[in-house]
Structure 1
Amino acid sequence: MNAHDKERDEGGPGARGRSGHALPDRSDGAVYVMSQEIELVVKVARATGRPLLLRGRPGSGKSSLALYLAQTNHWRYYEHVVTQRTHPQDPLWTYDSVRRLSDAQLLSTRPQNARLDDAAYVRPGALWWALAPESARRRGRDLGHGPDDTCREPFEEINADRRGRPAVVLIDEIDKADPDVPNSLLVPLGAHRFTVTETGAGIHAEEEQDEARLFRHLVVITTNEERELPQAFLRRCVVLTLPDHDEQTLVRIAVRHLRHWYGAVLPEHRTLASALARELGTVRAEAEQFGLRPPSTAEYLDALRACITLGIDVSDPEWEWLKHCALLKRQQAVGEEW
């Protein structure tokens, strides 16, 4: 740990965070412990223009890395959370065909020269906003053509003072979708361009003519390995697997969050964080015994927050209860006591 890291861990001038006792959501991107490996892989992804594919257990910090990078570097931020219902083009755009059909039926009662504006039914996705924000606001219309129907930017408040800066795009849990989804991203991510099928609008990176800016954006894609990703997609990514954190790293992460939560790191909180980190090793072994998923770093932080709030120590009888509901999460049989 270098001097700057230690200063931040101890809550010195290098620390980022809020004072007071508010407990902000950890997904706000304010706190993250960056290892040298993560820092290097992020640089490689930006230098090569390749997406950064993050592997690791749920709760290992995959999704929060994108937010942290955007906030720390003051970059624009967009995200798309993949589900089983995600269509291949959704990270790029969606099209409201149901509303268009309804409007077309109403239009049949109007004069024959009336026509629909297909662009009005287009909603730009996260990747479109990152590559071409001005085009996204116009829904792909050419300058000076079509009605003044601008699209509101997602994460508008976050990005209000970040226009013209690089963008971070999070495509979260891509393994939940069919293989068509990652395959559909190969060309847009590689060539920085795509075509909106319903309108024929060609979208390309708005600063592509500037060679120095070609690879300034960062696309972070996460997977929980629920299904295998296509080899063609993997080949085009820079890949990093986030490991389970060891005891020392857990305490370091806890100290950063304690500073962010409370504005200072009390000695008793540091002692509790260390005790919980040691206890987590035992709990992980117990989880394997029951055939359960081992608790993650996020769940360790939840347990730490709960212990501080409720005044529970690992030596207290209540710890056994908290361990099962916050870490092990084993389904309790009827009548069973912990």
Structure 2
Amino acid sequence: MTQPKSPFVGLQAGTITRLDKTEAYSQSWHQWSQPEIDALTLAYAAGRPLLVRGEPGTGKTQLARAAAQALGWKLHAETIHPRFEPHELRFRFDAIKRLADAQAQVGGKGAEALNDRLYWRPGVLWKAYGWASATRFMSAEEGNGEVKGHVVLIDEIDKADSDLPNSLLEVLAQRSFHVEPVAAPIGGPGVQAPLIVITTNEERDLPAAFLRRCIVLSLAADSAYAGWLVARGKAHFGALENIDGRAQPLLHDDVLWQAAEQLVKDRDAVAGHNLAKPGLAEYLDLLYALHALFKDEPDATTRTAAQLKWLDRLSAYGYLKHAVEDPASAAHQPAQASQRSQRAAGEPR
């Protein structure tokens, strides 16, 4: 069977990739799924942005990191906040610093014209579409090294109002734009298009015109949520001899499963109260804590028993982020935490 020409086709669903530590991100592991591979294949071939939807903690941001590493391209990431201005994806201009420097020259001897290159900062789109011109406004350390291509991560676009996605429409259509300090347009038909990954937690609806210009991937656990969690827990704490030289798992399967089953119960408990449900991020936080607390215990059986006991005691504080007014509710954090602590202290394993 003829294989399509795509750098993502060679990836296999279920494969675990180690994501190297960077200045912005700690080392992590990504387990590829077939929907991720297929959606990236389409976005890459069509030259369209990939919009990744899903609740917090489903690995949306990590997918951009994994894609950049698979391509061997440079990742440029921007996290959106409610006061984010659309032009900041293209550039930033420090007008306050320039004014201060200009005022400092008043009355000085032989005042010289200010160098505007000191005040312009390329945004993620400028770097991705016009790396050569952007490096003139970057530090030598940031702009050095060979760059084969660019992946742009626009994280949590739903935090901004509709002006931000609407401002992207022309850039996505023309694949070029202008910035004041550069005469030639940034991007254009002769420039290798970046892979753009945009994430949303769906706190706000996105404009229909913007959605039409995107490839859309919805990241969600399958119906067997506990098993879905455990599979991703094994990517971090399982035996990874072929990837990380780890012949033995860091956490026993019993710990992974009990943490997953408790999280499913807590998700069900808050579901009827229209509250944010715990997910993969909370699951991994608890597992990392249990590993850190007992990693120096040499006996594996003793270590696992202690981790299971403390998992019961600590999970309420890591999983349940909301107190419910009804104290009889299973989702009431103080009551449930007390119940778990008593159970962990009194019941044999």
TM-score range, shorter chain: 0.7 to 0.9
Distance 1:92 1:334, change over 3 A: closer
Distance 1:203 1:263, change over 3 A: farther
SS at match of 1:123: strand
Counterpart-to-counterpart distance in 2, 1:321 and 1:51:
43
Match of 1:255 among 212, 220, 234: 234
Alpha-carbon distance, 1:314 to partner: 9.8
Alpha-carbon distance, 1:289 to partner: 4.3
Question: Are 2:235 and 1:229 aligned?
Answer: no
Contact kept, 8 Å, 1:28 with 1:67, in 2: the verdict is no
Range that drifts further, 86-95 or 307-316: 307-316
Counterpart-to-counterpart distance in 2, 1:247 and 1:38:
20
Alpha-carbon distance, 1:168 to partner: 1.0
Alpha-carbon distance, 1:152 to partner: 1.9
Q: What is the match of residue 204 of structure 1?
A: 186
SS at match of 1:134: helix
Counterpart-to-counterpart distance in 2, 1:160 and 1:50:
28
Match of 1:175 among 155, 158, 167: 158
Q: What is the match of residue 263 of structure 2?
A: 280
Match of 1:185 among 146, 149, 168: 168
Distance 1:136 1:249, change over 3 A: same
SS at match of 1:31: strand
Range that drifts further, 236-245 or 299-308: 299-308
Counterpart-to-counterpart distance in 1, 2:72 and 2:18:
14
The CA RMSD over aligned residues, in Å, is 3.6
Contact kept, 8 Å, 2:19 with 2:65, in 1: the verdict is no
Range that drifts further, 47-56 or 301-310: 301-310
Question: Are 2:22 and 1:39 aligned?
Answer: no
Distance 1:257 1:315, change over 3 A: closer
Alpha-carbon distance, 1:32 to partner: 1.1
Q: What is the match of residue 78 of structure 1?
A: 76
* 1:56-75 alignment runs, 5 A limit: 56-75=54-73
SS at match of 2:76: strand
Counterpart-to-counterpart distance in 1, 2:185 and 2:22:
38
Contact kept, 8 Å, 1:324 with 1:330, in 2: the verdict is no
Q: What is the match of residue 328 of structure 1?
A: 320
Alpha-carbon distance, 1:209 to partner: 2.2
* 1:257-272 alignment runs, 5 A limit: 257-258=236-237, 259=239, 263-266=246-249, 269-272=252-255
Alignment-mate amino acid for residue 240 of structure 1: L
Alpha-carbon distance, 1:230 to partner: 1.7
Distance 1:116 1:335, change over 3 A: closer
Alignment-mate amino acid for residue 139 of structure 2: R
Alpha-carbon distance, 1:184 to partner: 1.5
Range that drifts further, 101-110 or 175-184: 101-110
Q: What is the match of residue 123 of structure 1?
A: 121
Range that drifts further, 110-119 or 234-243: 110-119
Percent identity, please.
Answer: 34
Contact kept, 8 Å, 1:292 with 1:328, in 2: the verdict is no
Distance 1:335 1:37, change over 3 A: closer
Question: Are 2:311 and 1:319 aligned?
Answer: yes
Alpha-carbon distance, 1:284 to partner: 1.4
Alpha-carbon distance, 1:252 to partner: 1.8
Counterpart-to-counterpart distance in 2, 1:100 and 1:26:
28
Alpha-carbon distance, 1:219 to partner: 0.8
Alpha-carbon distance, 1:49 to partner: 1.1
SS at match of 2:96: helix
Counterpart-to-counterpart distance in 2, 1:316 and 1:38:
33
Question: Are 2:305 and 1:305 aligned?
Answer: no
Alignment-mate amino acid for residue 231 of structure 2: R
Alpha-carbon distance, 1:299 to partner: 1.2
Alpha-carbon distance, 1:301 to partner: 1.4
Alpha-carbon distance, 1:233 to partner: 1.4
Give CA-to-partner distance per residue, 1:49-108, whole Å, 9 cap, x none: 111111100111111111122223321111111111211110111001112222333445
Range that drifts further, 276-285 or 33-42: 276-285
Q: What is the match of residue 104 of structure 1?
A: 102
Alignment-mate amino acid for residue 227 of structure 1: R
Q: What is the match of residue 300 of structure 2?
A: none
Q: What is the match of residue 147 of structure 1?
A: none
Alignment-mate amino acid for residue 266 of structure 1: P
Distance 1:88 1:327, change over 3 A: same
Q: What is the match of residue 139 of structure 2?
A: 152
Distance 1:83 1:153, change over 3 A: farther
Give the gaps of 5 or more residues in structure 1: 10-14, 140-150
Alignment-mate amino acid for residue 84 of structure 2: T
Counterpart-to-counterpart distance in 2, 1:189 and 1:110:
47
Alpha-carbon distance, 1:38 to partner: 0.8
SS at match of 1:32: strand
